[in-house]
Amino acid sequence: MKLKRFTRLLILSLLLVGFLFLSISTFKTQGPIVSATEEQTASNRITVSGVGTVKAKADTVEIILGVTSDGKTAQEAQEANSTAMNNVTRALKNMLTPNDRWETAYVSLYPQYDYSETGRGTLIGFRAENGIHIVLSQTARAGEIIDACVAAGANTVSSIQFSLKDVESLKLEAIKMAMQNAESKANAALQVIGKSITGVESINVSDSYYPPIPYSYTKMEAMGAPSTPVEPGLLEVIVNVTVTYTF
């Protein structure tokens, strides 16, 4: 009986030792649990700027011109101005195409004073002004339109402003150029240290639009010039980007 009891205890002891050995081995094989966050490592980054510039010739021109009339009375100045302005708009309408348009830009009537003698201001008459805003779809016609209006009675040409109908397409083209410029800079810098771009972390884009400076005429230029040459010049769209790449 004692021998059988001893044998049972020995077998149980061996089984317990074996179980403990297997548990310790499994723990060592698996090792400590590591979270996914701890396994991630931050990527290296490089931030560069790029610029893209696109130039194009204007396809739209805006003109502001009109008539200035003086008279001893307000009625005299206004009547003279209305007569001259009607002649101008009649000549203009005969020259405009369906793609062109015009509208009134300003109308004013005010007294004029002479301060040279008493310093207190002596009423010497009245001045009436009427101006129109003209938009032409063909920039080459700007000179002939101005000449026709001046011949009909216009004596002021305030400004000429050139623009583009579709600026957005130029901006998109400039963005592509700016991004290519930024990528070239990043690649050039990373090649020095034996690295390459692996991704894009952020992009910031800003754009600027620079039309030609408007040309202004004086009253004497409008009345005395035998012809009016008008050159549209080039419009410029500039896009700047700031790009952060990973490597």
- pLDDT tens for residues 153-185? 999 999 899 988 889 999 999 999 999 999 999
Q: Which amino acid is at 169?
A: S
Judge if 50 and 170 occupy the same domain: yes
Give the domain range for residue 72.
60-163
Judge if 247 and 153 occupy the same domain: no
DSSP letters spanning 89-119: HHHHHTT--TT-EEEEEEEEEEEEEE-SSSS
What was the pLDDT predicted at 229?
75
Q: What is the mean pLDDT of residues 102-131?
A: 92
Lowest mean pLDDT among 58-62, 108-112, 208-212: 208-212
CATH code of residue 171: 3.30.110.170
Q: Collapse the DSSP code of 72 into the 3-class scheme (helix H, G, I; strand E, B; otherwise coil) and give the result.
A: coil
Q: What is the mean pLDDT of residues 1-17?
A: 54
What was the pLDDT predicted at 5?
59
Final residue of a domain: which of 163, 187, 203? Answer: 163
Residue 106 falls inside a structural domain = yes
Residue 196 falls inside a structural domain = yes
Judge if 158 and 116 occupy the same domain: yes
More confident residue, 110 or 166: 110
Residue 175 falls inside a structural domain = yes
pLDDT band at 221 (very low <50, low <70, confident <90, very high): very low
Residue 28 falls inside a structural domain = no
Round to whole Å and give the CA distance between 148 and 136.
14
Judge if 81 and 52 occupy the same domain: no
Residue 158 falls inside a structural domain = yes
What was the pLDDT predicted at 134?
97
CATH code of residue 133: 3.30.70.2970
Judge if 137 and 70 occupy the same domain: yes
Judge if 110 and 157 occupy the same domain: yes
What was the pLDDT predicted at 210?
77
Contact of 137 with 97, CB cutoff 8 Å: yes
Q: What is the mean pLDDT of residues 85-106?
A: 96
Round to whole Å and give the CA distance between 142 and 214.
13
Does the pLDDT of residue 36 top 50, yes or no? no
Q: What is the mean pLDDT of residues 7-14?
A: 56
Mean pLDDT of the chain: 83
Round to whole Å and give the CA distance between 147 and 69.
19
- pLDDT tens for residues 42-88? 579 999 999 999 999 889 999 999 999 999 999 999 999 999 999 99
CA distance to 20, 32, 60, 216, per residue, from 25 (Å): 9, 13, 83, 92
Residue 81 falls inside a structural domain = yes
Looking at the structure of the chain, the number of domains it has is 2
What was the pLDDT predicted at 121?
83
Residue 82 falls inside a structural domain = yes
Query: Considering the entire predicted model, what is its pTM?
Result: 0.65
Judge if 49 and 95 occupy the same domain: no
